[in-house]
Homo-oligomer: A and B are copies of this chain.
Amino acid sequence: MSMYELLTTCGHARRGRLTTPHGVVETPVFMPVGTQGTVKGLTPRQLTELDGGTQGPQIILGNTYHLMLRPGTETVSALGGLHRMAGWDRAILTDSGGYQVYSLKDISRITEEGVRFRSHIDGSYNDLGPESAIAIQEALGSDIMMAFDECPPAGDGIPRRKVMAAMERTHRWARRCIDARTREDNALFGIVQGGVDRDLRAMSAEAITDLPFDGFAIGGLSVGESRNRMWETAEFTAALLPESHPRYLMGVGTPEDLLACVGYGVDMFDCVMPTRNARNARVFTATGDLNLRNAKHTRDPGPIDPECGCYTCQNFSRGYLRHLDKAKEILFSTLTTFHNLYFYLNLMAAARRHIEAGDYYAWVADVMGRRGTGATPPAGPAGPPGPG
């Protein structure tokens, strides 16, 4: 039985629902990143207070690479699994660790068996491959596990044969990930690779969707290619994935990226941007993004975003936030993270409502226009959006 239910569509945009062992997830959905067993800066209680029409995120992401090294898989198990350890009783998706391992490329050795790498924490040698990536994710207690893949860099300078070789190995490893499963209560998603090459993406989509995965991810994007390239590839690839399964665009992205790719039929996203930018004083608003370190905010008694209903905007001024940042108070990160995650969750809640209402593309054009980033809104399948 599929974990995904497609409720309605507006053009290519899909309004759906995922069922996991830790609750239902309304899609399209943005998943906050909780790399080391915590969404940086917020307690689980604060996460559930984010609201934005959702009472907080229904799913967050954990990073297998980080958790296997610290505190270590056995420690997470001893502490009751990732949910119990982190005090989070909603759904968790874990990546396979592949992406992080490949970002250590100078100290990795890749064979058909898997990857040997050195820990960024203590320099110790560790191995990760399809079987161990599944075993670790099962031990963590992940609701949605990701297949272990090989992620080549994307971009114009990368030889096609390298991208193809990584893709083909990803396909072989995908099969081994499925065979390595020992639990039936959680889900496993396959990952389509192929860089920004349409032929390779088509080959990869065919190979991966041929396997009995519970959902399909578009990997290997947002790794250096241009925004246009990324959007084109996401649009092309999403259209190759089955209607019956959830579609997850990994590691993406800006508010514009999310709105565009929902318009291409993507259901799930994760990105460190709202949380990382928050800690660096960069905050999102309905009329464009702000840097709170700008001196003009020093005595500004207004909130980050007058249109925002979050706890931070309801209670604190730009001037106070700037003071907290200059004074290096950790409350700064908490309050800006609260706001940025609220912005993302609220945006996705609005996207779900506008898909249901049938005016998704017109709404996106309006949101993008007000934010003023110069992004071109996605055209609906019937051509460019009408007057609204």
B-binding residues in A (CB < 8 A): 36-38, 40-46, 66, 70-71, 74-75, 78-80, 85-87, 298-299, 301, 311, 315-317, 319-320, 322-324, 326-327, 329-331, 333-335
Contacts and interface: CB of A to CB of B under 8 A. Distances in A.
Given A40-B329, A43-B331, A331-B42, A319 B70 contact: no
A294 to B, nearest CB: 15
Contacts of A85: 317, 319-320, 323
Contacts of A334: 43, 330, 334
Nearest to A86: B320
A330 B299 CA distance: 27
Contact of A315 (B78, B87, B315, B329): B87
Number of copies of this protein chain within its complex: 2
B331 A38 contact: yes
Contact of A326 (B71, B311, B322): B71
Contacts of A37: 320, 323-324, 327
Of A322, A326, A331, which is in contact with the most chain B CB atoms at under 10 Å from its CB?
A331
B331 A75 contact: no
B319 A78 contact: yes
B41 A78 contact: no
20 contacts: A36-B324, A36-B327, A37-B323, A37-B327, A38-B324, A41-B330, A43-B335, A44-B315, A71-B322, A71-B323, A78-B301, A79-B299, A79-B301, A79-B319, A80-B301, A85-B319, A85-B320, A86-B320, A87-B320, A330-B330
Nearest to A71: B323
A324 B78 CA distance: 16
Nearest to A299: B78
A298 B330 contact: no
A316 B38 contact: no
Given A79-B320, A319-B79, A40 B71 contact: no
Contacts of A326: 70-71
Contacts of A80: 301, 317
A260 to B, nearest CB: 32
Nearest to A333: B330
A237 to B, nearest CB: 34
A323 B75 contact: yes
